[in-house]
Chain A
Amino acid sequence: MPEKVRELSRVKEIGFMGKVTASLSHEIKNTLAIINESVGLMGDLLRRDAPDDWPPYSRLTNLMGSIEEQVQRSAAIVKRLNQFAHSMDKPLVDLDLNETVNQTVLLAQRFATLRRVNLETQLESKPLHLLSDPFRLLYVIFGFIEGAINCSPKEAEVRVKTARSGERFQVTITDQGTVEADKIRALVSASPSAEGEQGESDLALLAQTVEALGGTIAAEQGDGGLNKVVLSFPASMPVI
């Protein structure tokens, strides 16, 4: 990968880290806000001078249940954040592509929800072990999922599927969006440039990272106007 492209990729990877951590921190803030109001309301109810409704057992029980749910929700979000952080521990590990895709979809879920797009997975039933860079895999898969989300209309579906194809492992992202396969093929083949239109340049940079992981990209037009991007990775990424 040429030095300038490597530098551009580095900038985008850092941007990806920022985007994901900001999203997760926002989700945590929402759970804290619910906990905060629930506790506040419990205090308000207990301080009320209402002898007919004292103590307000059922209300307090409901609020405590809500707090417990939000604590569990927060714990799940922090777990995702922790897994994301640890994806940067080592540049080459033995991983299960299904788990990586699952992790990526969880990270992308909020972005899909904000655009009212349904994000679904269809994972291969058996583990798909490959030797690769966990962070960069997350980065490229997320990038293509995000692209599909951003060009999809409301209530549309983006589907992420894993499969084995001979000695290679595939991640297929299918969407009903407005950017067709021909355009995607052109964008991923283009030379990455800092001056390029955002989004278009991003795809070219993602393509370079896929290539560095030993992967290939195919864009196809499926039945019913579906767009399909197929990322194909080897069992072992090339080591430089």
Chain B
Amino acid sequence: MAEYRVLLVDDEEEFVSALSERLMLRGIEVDSALNGEEALARLVEKEFEVVILDVMMPGLGGLEVLRQIKSTHPNTQVILLTGHGATREGIEGMRLGAFDYLIKPVDIEEMLEKMKEAAKTARTG
């Protein structure tokens, strides 16, 4: 049985595909979405402890998706994916309730560590 469920949201399909497979090889249940609208639809269908969310996406941007997730699924923890660290988006994201952020390209061990902590927070509420 998977340790926890993760929703991976990024508009780069190849990135999502490769990372999803890497996480699944590590026993994590992963679902994915290629845009914000799809992500919100997935969250209606299923509960996820953790969402890995790209900040810059066409259409509904990452920060707006974050805002909606925190409103409708307050226990779900969101880790933002950003191209740079202390940007306006990163800081705003933390203010909106993101659990943490990761800078692309990500180190998978660092990501796993943060996801584990986030999942623990999601379960303990």
Please indicate whether A and B come from the same complex rather than being unrelated chains.
yes
| Residues in A lying within 8 Å of B, measured CB to CB | 25-26, 29-30, 32-38, 40-41, 44, 48, 63, 66, 70, 113-116, 154
Question: Interface of chain A, helix or strand or loop or mixed?
Answer: helix
From B18, B57, B58, residue with most partner A Cβ within 10 Å: B18
From B14, B56, B61, B84, residue with most partner A Cβ within 10 Å: B14
Contacts A35-B105, A36-B105 given; indicate if A29 touches B83 (C-beta within 8 A). yes
Q: Does B125 count as interface, using CB distance less than 8 angstroms?
A: no
Number of interface residues of B (CB under 8 A): 19
Pick from B19-27, B71-79, B115-123 the stretch touching chain A: B19-27
Q: Mark B39-68, 1 if CB is under 8 A from A, else 0.
A: 000000000000000001111010000000
Contacts A116-B58, A116-B59 given; indicate if A29 touches B104 (C-beta within 8 A). yes
Q: Is the CB of B105 within 8 A of A66?
A: no
Bound-state Cα–Cα, A73 to B108, Å: 23
Bound-state Cα–Cα, A113 to B56, Å: 11
Q: Is the CB of B58 within 8 A of A30?
A: no
CB distance from B63 to the nearest CB of A (A): 13
Q: Is the CB of B105 within 8 A of A32?
A: yes
Q: Is the CB of B58 within 8 A of A114?
A: yes
Bound-state Cα–Cα, A38 to B14, Å: 8
**Pick the contact of B22 from A30, A37, A66, A116 — CB < 8 Å?**
A37
- Interchain Cβ contacts under 8 Å between A and B, 14 examples: A30-B12, A32-B105, A33-B15, A34-B14, A37-B15, A37-B22, A40-B18, A40-B22, A41-B18, A41-B22, A44-B25, A63-B18, A70-B14, A154-B59
Q: Across chains A and B, which 5 residue pairs bring their CB atoms closest together, nearest first?
A: A36-B105, A37-B18, A29-B83, A33-B104, A33-B105
CB distance from A14 to the nearest CB of B (A): 18
